Amino acid sequence: MEASEKPQLPLDGAGSGQVSIRALEDRLVIECLEVIDELASRVVRDQAAQKRAPAETVRKAIEIGARIIDSESVATNVDLVKRELQGGLGELNRELSETLEGGSRELAERIAESFGTDRADSVQQQIRRLVDDATEQQRLALVKLLSAEDGSNPLVAVQARMGRTVLEAEERHRQEMARLREGHANEARTMQREVAALRENLARLLERQQAEEQLAEAEEAGTRKGRSFEDKVDAALERIAGARGDASAHTGGEGAEGGGKKGDTLIELGAAEGPTMGRIVLEAKDKKLSKNDAWRELNEAMAARAAAYAVLVVAGEERVPAGRETLTEYEGNKLIVAVDRDEPDGLALEVAYRLAAARVAMIRDRDLTVDAGAVRDAAEEALTCLKQAQAIRASLTGINTSSDKARSSLDEMVEAVRAKLERIDSLVEAADSPGQ
């Protein structure tokens, strides 16, 4: 309602009802206004290309233009002062002319009185005295007129008008400068807040980037150290140990009683159901070691964890130390097994686990009448079946048709391996049972 009651200022085209301007206190509302100006159009486009909103550019242009127009009004006021001064001087000139004209008439009358036919004085002397007297009177009258401080002095009005005009111009200039300073101060404060916000956001982004980089470095370092592969192997060993009544502990980052931190996983046979009957330590590596480095790792692990047997678990056949074979016992207390890097919980790891458990049982009590030959034969048969199963599994990769028979053969091989493992366990148990 308030906006509709304010007067509207018509512009070009306002008669047709297409353009109107409403001045509402400190706002201008412009409707349906078209400005034909090549420079203004180009400036708006250039600013828009620099991500400044067209409405913001137009608003700034109007504000700057208004200030320029208002500043030009100061020059207009100066012209007004000049016109006022010229008018005042013209009025003064008229008054002086009237005064001189009156004086001239008075002078003429006095001359006429003084130069009658009955006078005998010198005409030249009388004219000189009369002229001198008239001139002095006019000078005194002019000085008195220009020295007056009331409205009779034409210069007083001119001075007053000039003074008011100058003061008004100075006041408008002062107010305009105050508005400009306040506007600049507001813009400076706004810019400072924006810069502070940008710095804060930049600091948060840098902190986040540093955290992400540190996390990536930590993950990369963990991968280099085999922690990811180590964790998967440890989880698989925990499952196998739980099914057999053994106890599995992830000891890769823990100090050992014997000193050092060698040995990633420690298996205590039978410890889940009673006293331990022997220890097996396993080292998980996703990089290839030389034979000497591999034996040093395993010997240090057995010494640190007081284990009787050590198994090196590597991520793939290509990481088996040169000159060594997988699932082959070395030096009576070492074994190497290659598993899938992403899914180590397979039959190969279980075969290595059971072979190591059988050897620890034999080492624990050398008086046991274990059929070593039968154990060795069963282990070799299990290894043969395992290699055949791995070959069949490799041949199945990428095959989508006619694979049922191959998968059946694979399952049979896996069951044969498990049967051989059960045979090994039964031989150990038979030797450990009373009356054997």
pLDDT, averaged across the chain = 76
User: 142 vs 92, 108, 129, 384, 432, CA distance in Å?
Assistant: 10, 20, 20, 141, 150
**Strand pairing report for 265-268 and 20-24:** unpaired
Q: Which two tokens stand for residue 273?
A: 């159901």
- Return the higher-pLDDT residue of 375 and 319: 319
Q: Please state the rounded mean pLDDT for residues 313-336.
A: 91
Q: What pLDDT sits at residue 3?
A: 46
The CA distance from 417 to 347, in Å, is 8
pLDDT in tens, 388-420: 666 666 666 555 545 666 767 777 777 777 777
Supply the pLDDT for residue 8.
Answer: 46
The reported pLDDT for the residue numbered 288 is: 92
CA–CA dist 136, 128 (Å, integer): 12
Name, in order, each residue with C-beta under 8 angstroms of 306's C-beta and a sequence gap of 6 or more. 257, 258, 279
CA-wise closest residue to 339 among 328, 329, 330, 352: 352
pLDDT for position 13: 47
Q: Which pLDDT belongs to residue 4? A: 47
- Indicate the angle between helix axes 347-364 and 372-396, nearest 10 degrees: 170
Q: Which helix (H) or strand (E) holds 206?
A: helix 154-224
Reduced 3-state DSSP string for 275-317: CCCCEEEEEEECCCCCHHHHHHHHHHHHHHHCCCEEEEEEECH
- The predicted pLDDT at position 371 comes to 59
Do 95 and 154 touch, CB atoms closer than 8 A?
Answer: yes
Query: Over 80: is that where the pLDDT of 313 sits?
Result: yes
Read off the pLDDT band of 434 (50, 70, 90). low
pLDDT at position 260 is: 62
State if pTM tops 0.75.
Answer: no
pLDDT tens digits, 139-168? 888 777 767 766 667 666 777 777 788 788
Cβ atoms of 19 and 32 closer than 8 Å: yes
